[in-house]
Amino acid sequence: MTGKSILPTERIERSILLIRGKKVMIDADLATLFGVTTKRLKEQVRRNPDRLPPDFMFDLTPEETSEVVANCDHLERLKFSPYMPFAFTKYGALMLANVLNSPRAIQASLQIVRTYVRLRELLSSNPELARRIDALEEKYGRQFKVVFDAIRQLFEPPRKPKNPIDFRVREKRSGYRRRMGN
C-alpha cells in the first residue's frame, strides 16, 4: 500500500542520523512521528526488552547526546533531559511501531523504512554524486574529515546482521541413536 503519506519524507530524512556507523533515529523524533510522548515510547521499550535487542536499538552516551544536541537544533530539548536518549535502527523503528500498536505508528514505520531504502538506493545508484564527493574531499579533506567519513559510510552497502531475523527451528537430538542392522 503506497497511499497518501501521513508524514513528509523530508521530515523523516532529517531525523535519520549516523551514529556509531549506523543510520538511526532518536527516540524523541520517533515519538513525534508515531504520535506518542517520548515517555510512553521509553515505557514500551522497557516493557519489551526482548523485542528490541542491541542491533535494533542502543542508549546514547553523554558524549553522543551532546553531539546530537549540538548538530540538531530540533533536539535541543535533550540537553535538559535527565535520561539518555535511545537510538533506533530501521529494524528497531519497525519493531517499536509493532510494540506501540497504533495505526499511526504502523503507518509512520512503513514510511520510515521506505525512506531508509530510498536513501540507500539514491546513494548507491548515483556515481556522479560519488565523484563530486571525491573532488570535495581532495580539496577540503583535512577540514571536513569527519563529514567525508560519514558520507563514505553511507555509500557502503548494508552489512549483513550477525544474527539474521528468521524463524528457524533447531531441533534437539534425541538421547538415543538408531543402531544399524537391528
pLDDT above 80 (res 120):
no
In b/e form, how buried is each residue of 18-33, taking b as 16+ CB within 10 angstroms? Answer: ebeebbbbbbbbbbbb
Nearby residues of 109 by Cβ (< 8 Å), 6 or more positions away:
34, 93, 94, 96, 97, 98
Note the pLDDT of residue 3.
Answer: 47
Closest C-alpha among 149, 158, 160 to residue 117: 158
Domain boundary (76, 107, 124) is at 124
Q: Are residues 64 and 83 in the same domain?
A: yes
Q: Is residue 72 part of a domain?
A: yes
Q: Is residue 167 part of a domain?
A: no
Q: Are residues 22 and 103 in the same domain?
A: yes
Domain boundary (101, 124, 147) is at 124
- How far apart CA 110 and CA 169 sit, in angstroms, is 28
Tell me the per-residue pLDDT of 22-79, one tens digit each, with 9 for 90 and over. Answer: 888 899 989 888 889 999 999 999 998 888 888 899 999 989 988 888 888 778 778 7
- Tell me the residue range of the domain where 138 lies: 125-155
Domain boundary (81, 106, 124) is at 124
Q: How many C-beta atoms lie closer than 10 Å to residue 87's C-beta?
A: 23
Judge whether 77 and 26 are in contact, CB under 8 Å: no
Q: Are residues 57 and 94 in the same domain?
A: yes
Count up the domains in the chain and report the number.
2
The model's pTM: 0.59
| Residue whose cell numbers read 529494524 | 91
Q: Which residue has the higher pLDDT, 172 or 103?
A: 103
